[in-house]
Structure 1
Amino acid sequence: MVFARRPRAPLPLWLLSGWLRAWRGLCAPAMAPPRCFALELTDCTLAHFALGAEGSDACPDPRLSELLGPPGRSYSLCVPMAAGDDCGARVHAARVHQSLQHQLRRGPFQRCQLHRLLCYCPGGQAEGVQHGFLLRDPSEGQDTRRALLELLSRCQEAARPHLGEFEADSQGVLWQRAWVLQESRQLQVGCARVLPIPEPPLHPAVPHLLSSAVFRDLDTARAVLETCTSIPEAKAVLDLVDQCPRQVQKGKFPVIVIEGLDATGKTTVTHAVSESLQAVLLYSPPSCIGQWRKIFDDQPTIIKRAFYSLGNYIVASEIAKESTKSPVIVDRFWHSTATYGIATELSGGLQHLPPAHHPVYQWPGDLLKPDLVLLLTVSPEERAQRLRDRGLEQTREEAELEANSVFRQKVEASYRRMENPRCLEVDASPSREEVLQTVLRLIRATFNDS
C-alpha cells in the first residue's frame, strides 16, 4: 500500500466512521477511545489535541498547524501499555520508550525534530497513559517514512509503537492517519481529524507519578526492581534491602539532611558540618550500592528512581543505628530522589508541576524522617562557573541541569514544595566559612528551640 500524499478535501463521515471502527478494533484496548494528546513545544508549553470526525467549530491552534502541517511531515509514535497497567507492563513500556528515543536520534532521523508526546484518557485517570514522540521531518523525505516502518518492523508486535502520520487537506484542516504493520505490510486502520482541546487542570502524567517516578513506600519501589531480572545488580540491591529492618526508628541524636543541585557546595558543607558537630556523615545512595549508580542511571526513569528510592531505605537503617550514638549528617536523601523524578517525568515547564500540597511532595510514611533538611542554593551563573572550575566528568543529570534551564527550575521548584519535612533554604553563594556559619546557626536554632 502506498501512502497518500495529502487529502484534497474533508473525507465523508461514513468513510471516516468505517475507518475509525476498524482502527478501534485493531488497536483496542491500548488505544481505545477516547484519547487525548499532550505535545511539548519548543518553548516548553503543551498543546493538547484529540482525534475525531466531528469538531468543525473547534478553535484552531496555530501551534499545532505549525508542527503538524506543511511544509514538512510529522509522525506520532506512542508506546502501548499492556492491559492492567501493572508494574511489569510499566517497566516494559519504559524500556521500549527509551529504546525508541535512542533510535529516533540516529541515522535518517538526525535531521528531524523530536518532541515529547503523551497519549492519555481525559478526566485525569492514571490508566492508559502512553509516552511517545512526535517526529517532525522538515524535508518531508520518503526515506524517513521508510525508516520508521523498518524500525517498527523490528519491534515485538505486542510492544510495537502506534504510528500516526499527520496531513493537512486543501482547507488546511489537520488529519491523522493511523498505520499498523501486518505480515510486513503497512495497513491504514484509521483517519481522524485533529481537534484542539483545552489544557486539563493537571498535567495528565501527574496521576501516574506515584507509580512511575516518586514511590510512596518501599514495596512499590521494590516491585519495580523485581521485574528487572536482566540486571544482575537489581537482585543485589534487593538482597541488601531484605537485610534491613522495616520501619526503623531514629535515635536520640539529631539527623540533618543537606540537599542541593550539583555544584552548590554540598560536599564541602557536609564535611565541615560533620566535623564541627562530631557527627557521622552518610550518603544516599549508600556506598554499598553507590558503585552501581552508572548502571541504573542508564536505565529508564522508573527503574532509576526505584534504585535511588531503595537506596534511601538502606541508608535509613544506617541512620537509625548511628543516630543512637551521635548526630548524623546525610548528603542527599528522599527529597533528591523525588524532585529529579518529578522534573524528568513531567513534560512542559514550571506551570505543569503538581500544585503545592500535592501528595507527591509528602514524605513516605514508612521511611525514617530527618529532623532538619537544608537546601543549598546558588545563582545559575555561579553554579555553572563552579561546574566549569571542577573540570570533572558530568553525570547525565548534571549536564541537563547546566544545559536545560527549565529542567533546573523544575527541580528547584519541586524542592521548595516539599513538605513534612520541608526544605529550609540556605544561600550558598558567600564564602565557605560564611555558609558553614549560617548552616551551624540554623542547626543550633532548630535544636535549641525543640
Structure 2
Amino acid sequence: MASRIRPLLRRLQGPRWSRSGTCSSAMAPPRCFALELPDCSLAHFALEDPGAAGAHQDPRLPALLGPPGRSFALCAPAVTGGDCGARVQAARVQQQLQLQLRKGEPFQRCQLHRLLGYSPGEPAAGARHGFLLHDPRAGPDTWGALLQVLGACPEPARPNLGEFEADASGELWLRLWALHGDAQRQVSCARVVPVPAPPVHPVVLDLPSSAVFPDRDAARAVLEECTPFIPEAQAVLNLVDQCPKQLRKGQFPVIVIEGLDATGKTTVTQSISEALGAVLLQSPPSCIGHWRKIFDDEPNIIRRAFYSLGNYIVASEIAEASTRSPVIVDRYWHSTATYAIATEVSGGLQHLPPAHDPVYQWPQDLLRPDLVVLLTVSPEERVKRLQGRGLEKTREEAELEANSIFRQKVELSYRRMENPACHVVDASPSREEVLQAVAHLIRASCY
C-alpha cells in the first residue's frame, strides 16, 4: 500500500508533500472528524496533524477503518454563514443519500455510521454532515455503486468521497476524490491521526441555524426555501403571517404539560383542564396538525422549522384564550427543542450541549407560559403502557423505543431547559396521585 500511495502523492496537483507524508504548505487547521460508533460513543480523528501524531491513540479506528474491510467517507460540502437555501438543499441531499445507502446490494451488507466534519478554531465553518460506509467484505462492487449514487446528487450539494486505506506499517490514510460528471479525480491523500474530542460537540454552534431556531424569522426563512417543493409550506407561512408578532398573555395562567408519549399527558391535560375550566390547546395546532406526516418525512431542519412555527401559531391562540380562562397546552417549545437537540447531537449524553448553554433558553419573541410540567415514568413502565395502544408511531417515537440513549438525551435536554425550567412530576403512581401532584404545582406557581 505504501508503495502505491507515496508515488501518487508526488504526482498530485496542489499542496506539496514532504518525505514524511505531511503537507508542507497547508496553513489552515487540519480538518477533523467525529465518527459515531454502534455504542453511541464518538471517535475523533484528523487528517495530517503531525502535532497530534502519537499523542492520542484510539484502537477503535483501525478496527473500523482498516482491513480486512473497506470503508468510505461521504461528507456534504460546508455551508457557512446564513445561506438558508444551501442548508436546506444540503439536508435534502443528505437524507436522500442515507435512504440510498440503506437499500439494495451492495449496501445492505454494509454498516452505516454518522460522520461529522469540523474545523477546530473555525466555528464559522460549521459542521459537515455525512456518513461512514463500512463494507466488511470489501466487495469490488461497492465503489461503483457509490459513484452511481453520488453522481445522481446535484453538484453544488454533492458529498465529497473519501476512501480509507492502510499501508504496510499499519498507518491509516484517506484518499479524497473529486467527482465531475462520470469522471473521478483524486485530489489529496492524508494520514488519519486520532485526536482528543473537542470541548463542545461540533454541531452545537450550528443548532440555532439548523434545528433549535432562536426566533420566528429564523424558522420562517427555512420554510420559505421549501415552498417550491412542499406546497403545504406556503400554507403554514400564510397562517403564521396572520399571527401578531407582539403578543401579550391575558390575566389567566398558562400551564404547559410536557413528556414523552405514554407518560400520561393526555390524561393529565384533559383532567386538569376540566378541573380548572381551562381551554385545552396543543402544539402543533389543529390548523396545521394534519400536515405533520408530510413534514415528519422531511430532513430535520425542515421538520423543526414546521414545529417551531406551530408554536408561534399556538402562542397566538394562547394570547387570545388566556384573556377568558386558564389555558392548558399539550406540548410547546420545550418539546420542539429537546427532540431537535437529541436528534442533531450524535453520541451519548456526555455530548449534549452543557447546562446553561443558550440553546436551552426560551426564544425571546415567543409567548412564555407561567408553568411547565414535565411528566416522567421509568423506561419499563413506559414500554408497558405503550404495549397494546395500537397507535401509529412517528419516526421519533420509534427511535425512543429502539434507542435508549436517544430517550435519555431527550429527557436530559428537558431537564436542562431554562427560563422557564421544567417542573418534574413522577407519573408512575396512580392517576389520582399524579393529578394531585400537578394540581399542587399549579396552585403553588400560578395562584
- Shorter-chain TM-score: what band? over 0.9
1:156 alignment partner in structure 2: 154
| Match runs of 1:295-334 below 5 Å | 295-334=294-333
Question: Cα gap change, 1:59/1:441 in structure 2, threshold over 3 Å: closer, same or farther?
Answer: closer
The question of 1:387 aligning with 2:353 is answered: no
Instruction: Please list the CA deviations of residues 241-277 of structure 1 after superposition, one character each: whole Å capped at 9, or x if unmatched.
Output: 0101112010000000000001101011100000001
Instruction: Please list the CA deviations of residues 395-430 of structure 1 after superposition, one character each: whole Å capped at 9, or x if unmatched.
Output: 111110011000000000000000000000000011
C-alpha contact 1:20 1:192 (8 A) present in aligned 2 = no
1:358 alignment partner in structure 2: 357
2:277 alignment partner in structure 1: 278
Calculate percent identity across the aligned residue pairs. 71
SS in 2 for 1:311: helix
Report the alpha carbon displacement of residue 16 of structure 1 after superposing the two structures with TM. Answer: 8.1
SS in 1 for 2:2: coil
Q: Distance in 2 between matches of 1:237 and 1:90?
A: 20
How many residue pairs align between the two structures? Answer: 434
C-alpha contact 2:256 2:371 (8 A) present in aligned 1 = yes
Question: Cα gap change, 1:21/1:395 in structure 2, threshold over 3 Å: closer, same or farther?
Answer: farther
The question of 1:206 aligning with 2:201 is answered: no
Q: Distance in 1 between matches of 2:82 and 2:130?
A: 16
Using the TM superposition, name which of 11-20 and 83-92 deviates more.
Answer: 11-20
Q: Normalization by structure 1: what TM-score?
A: 0.93
Q: Distance in 2 between matches of 1:337 and 1:236?
A: 20
Q: Distance in 1 between matches of 2:5 and 2:142?
A: 26
Instruction: Please list the CA deviations of residues 101-140 of structure 1 after superposition, one character each: whole Å capped at 9, or x if unmatched.
Output: 1000011201111000001111260424210000000000
1:106 alignment partner in structure 2: 103
Report the alpha carbon displacement of residue 153 of structure 1 after superposing the two structures with TM. Answer: 1.5
2:74 alignment partner in structure 1: 77
SS in 2 for 1:209: helix
The question of 1:35 aligning with 2:35 is answered: no
Equivalent residue in structure 2 for 1:196, among 194, 197, 204? 194
2:47 alignment partner in structure 1: 51
1:26 alignment partner in structure 2: none
| Match runs of 1:224-373 below 5 Å | 224-229=222-227, 230-373=229-372
Q: Distance in 2 between matches of 1:54 and 1:357?
A: 35
The question of 1:65 aligning with 2:62 is answered: yes
4+ long deviations beyond 6 Å: none
Q: Distance in 2 between matches of 1:266 and 1:20?
A: 59
Q: CA RMSD in A?
A: 1.8
Q: Distance in 2 between matches of 1:135 and 1:185?
A: 21
| Match runs of 1:124-139 below 5 Å | 125-139=123-137
Instruction: Please list the CA deviations of residues 348-370 of structure 1 after superposition, one character each: whole Å capped at 9, or x if unmatched.
Output: 00000001100000000000000
SS in 1 for 2:250: coil
Instruction: Please list the CA deviations of residues 57-108 of structure 1 after superposition, one character each: whole Å capped at 9, or x if unmatched.
Output: 4433211111111110000000113565511111111111101110000112
SS in 1 for 2:388: helix
1:27 alignment partner in structure 2: none
2:6 alignment partner in structure 1: 11
SS in 2 for 1:163: strand
The question of 1:171 aligning with 2:169 is answered: yes
Q: Normalization by structure 2: what TM-score?
A: 0.93
C-alpha contact 2:273 2:279 (8 A) present in aligned 1 = yes
1:420 alignment partner in structure 2: 419
1:29 alignment partner in structure 2: none
Q: Which amino acid aligns with 2:112?
A: L
Report the alpha carbon displacement of residue 390 of structure 1 after superposing the two structures with TM. Answer: 1.0
C-alpha contact 1:284 1:312 (8 A) present in aligned 2 = yes
C-alpha contact 2:177 2:187 (8 A) present in aligned 1 = yes
| Match runs of 1:87-106 below 5 Å | 87-106=84-103
2:441 alignment partner in structure 1: 442
Specify every segment of 5 or more residues in structure 1 that has no aligned partner in the other structure, as ranges: 1-5, 23-31
The question of 1:140 aligning with 2:144 is answered: no
The question of 1:86 aligning with 2:83 is answered: yes
Using the TM superposition, name which of 294-303 and 125-134 deviates more.
Answer: 125-134
Report the alpha carbon displacement of residue 183 of structure 1 after superposing the two structures with TM. Answer: 4.2
1:121 alignment partner in structure 2: 119
Question: Cα gap change, 1:14/1:72 in structure 2, threshold over 3 Å: closer, same or farther?
Answer: closer
Report the alpha carbon displacement of residue 180 of structure 1 after superposing the two structures with TM. Answer: 1.9
Question: Cα gap change, 1:353/1:295 in structure 2, threshold over 3 Å: closer, same or farther?
Answer: same
C-alpha contact 1:7 1:167 (8 A) present in aligned 2 = no
Q: Distance in 2 between matches of 1:115 and 1:316?
A: 39
